[in-house]
Amino acid sequence: MNIHKMTTLDITGKTVLIRSDLNVPIENEIIQSEARILAALPTIQLAIQKNAKVIIMSHLGRPKEGTYTKKYSLFPIFKYLKKKLLNTQVYFSNNDMKDIHINPGEVVVLENVRFNKGELSNDDALSKKYANLCDIFIMDAFGSAHRMQSSTYGIGKFVKIACAGLLLINEIIALKKALEKPKRPLVAIVGGSKVSTKFNVLHKLCKIADTIIVGGGIANTFLAIDHKIGKSLCELDFICEAKKLRDKYNIIVPIDSRIGKKFHKTEKSTIKSPFNIEENEEIMDFGDETIKNVVKILKKSQTIIWNGPVGVFEFPYFRKGTEMIAKTIANSTAFSIAGGGDTLSVIDMFNIQNNISYISTGGGAFLEFIEGKKLPAIQMLEENFKKNNINN
């Protein structure tokens, strides 16, 4: 793809507007996971080193558009960045997009972009306001690259130069490495609660992976082809589609499961085969035989794509399947790429950040890239590159 890259542009002394993905969990103004902020820092730090005037914007959560809500304010993130960016002047702005005056090497953090009316609808007037803030726009929010919104897409129509930041470039390189010419065997793990939201990615992965391991509600839908699964989470409308995939491709379905009668963190688990699950029981994790089988497959793999937990890992008695998969991937010499919000939470829980080859900050964007869809933000960067080449 032909796009401008931050690393090839002269940004010294220029005003750069960085669209980061700082959408992290915050409770009582305390950041619960730093993963996405830490991933965004190299781009911010490079801009400071290049003596650019740095403006940072991001969304946080899902506030009512156009309405300030303290719960979704980026102020705690501003305070975090102020501590991280030592010897750098860092300011906070309540989205006043007219009077932002900073010196080279200084940083200003804008308030949540979703407090601005028109952000979600990709409003041209708002996109122009963003564009007027800067000389160069740096798109670095891979986690929002699939959204056609003013701060991720619309701005590209009005800014002179739009380029990719370090995180976005690294995401593209890592995903292409896993998808285009992977070392084999390639094993994909697809977990999570709903099979319907992941059927497109399952179709894509089936065509490129040697083995697919399904977990969570997705695995339950495959189990329901031949078994009664009690009150387990399942999407009955997708059983026929699941059967077509299972019969055509190498999809590993659990041969035993950890079940419970109540969906509660104190519920104890019992291991059962799919033939013995009763109406009042619920599948919530892999059983030990399934775990052994999956670990054996993962140990032989050369490339691993991991999206989603395989059980209710938040509950201590239904964590083992996800934990064993996480630790096996961490100890593997295979090239591993992991993505999705719940996957990041698992990685944090077991403290294996340094043992995954690449951790994607994207959830929906990660899945859409795997599906082969053109992400709107990347399309915007390509169009901007083309426009600049024509004008030059």
Set 36, 50, 129, 258: catalytic member? 36
Q: Based on the domain organization, do 201 and 304 belong to the same domain?
A: yes
Active-site residue flag, 364: yes
Q: Based on the domain organization, do 111 and 204 belong to the same domain?
A: no
**Does 233 carry a binding-site annotation?**
no
pLDDT at 197: 77
CA 226 to centroid of chain Cα atoms: 33
- Helical packing angle, 288-300 and 320-330, nearest 10°: 20
Chain mean pLDDT for the chain: 93
- Residue (of 9, 106, 6) closest to 56 by Cα position: 106
User: Residue 293 in contact with residue 264, Cβ under 8 Å?
Assistant: no
pLDDT at 50: 97
Set 105, 118, 230, 364: catalytic member? 364
pLDDT at 316: 96
* DSSP string for residues in 326-367: HHHHHT--SEEEE-SHHHHHHHHHTT-GGGSSEE---SHHHH
Q: Based on the domain organization, do 124 and 229 belong to the same domain?
A: no
**Does 202 carry a binding-site annotation?**
no
**Does 210 carry a binding-site annotation?**
no
Please calculate the CA angle 322-342-284 and round it to the nearest 5 degrees. Answer: 45
- Taking only the tens place, the pLDDT of each residue in 134-145 is 999 999 999 999
pLDDT at 363: 81
Burial class (CB in 10 A: 0-12, 13-18, 19+), 285: buried
pLDDT band at 391 (very low <50, low <70, confident <90, very high): low
Q: Based on the domain organization, do 202 and 239 belong to the same domain?
A: yes
- Taking only the tens place, the pLDDT of each residue in 51-94 is 999 999 999 999 999 899 999 999 999 999 999 998 999 999 98
Percent of the chain predicted with pLDDT > 70: 98
Q: Based on the domain organization, do 190 and 262 belong to the same domain?
A: yes
Question: Residue 71: what residue type?
Answer: K
Q: Based on the domain organization, do 248 and 151 belong to the same domain?
A: no
pLDDT at position 392 over 60: no
- Residue (of 307, 341, 368, 323) closest to 35 by Cα position: 341
DSSP state for residue 111 in the 8-state scheme: P
Q: Based on the domain organization, do 223 and 317 belong to the same domain?
A: yes
Model confidence, pTM: 0.86
Active-site residue flag, 228: no
**Does 260 carry a binding-site annotation?**
no
Taken in order 333, 38, 363, 145, the sign of the CA dihedral is negative
- Taking only the tens place, the pLDDT of each residue in 202-260 is 888 999 999 999 999 999 999 999 999 999 999 889 999 999 999 999 999 999 999 99
The CATH number that applies at residue 308 is: 3.40.50.1260
For residue 203, being part of any structural domain is answered with yes
Q: Based on the domain organization, do 214 and 290 belong to the same domain?
A: yes
pLDDT band at 192 (very low <50, low <70, confident <90, very high): confident
Higher-confidence residue of 179 and 281: namely 281
| Alpha carbons 103 and 117: distance in angstroms, whole number | 29
Helices (H), 85-210: 124-132, 166-179, 199-208
Q: Based on the domain organization, do 11 and 143 belong to the same domain?
A: yes
Residue 240 lies in domain: 184-333
Active-site residue flag, 363: no
For residue 338, being part of any structural domain is answered with no
Active-site residue flag, 36: yes
Average confidence (pLDDT) over 185-211 = 88
For residue 250, being part of any structural domain is answered with yes
pLDDT at 181: 87
Average confidence (pLDDT) over 148-161 = 96
Percent of the chain predicted with pLDDT > 90: 80
pLDDT at 34: 86
Q: Based on the domain organization, do 201 and 303 belong to the same domain?
A: yes
* DSSP string for residues in 81-99: HHHHSTTS-EEEESS--S-
Q: Based on the domain organization, do 156 and 17 belong to the same domain?
A: yes
Q: Based on the domain organization, do 152 and 239 belong to the same domain?
A: no
Set 156, 311, 341, 363: catalytic member? 341
Number of compact structural domains in the chain: 2
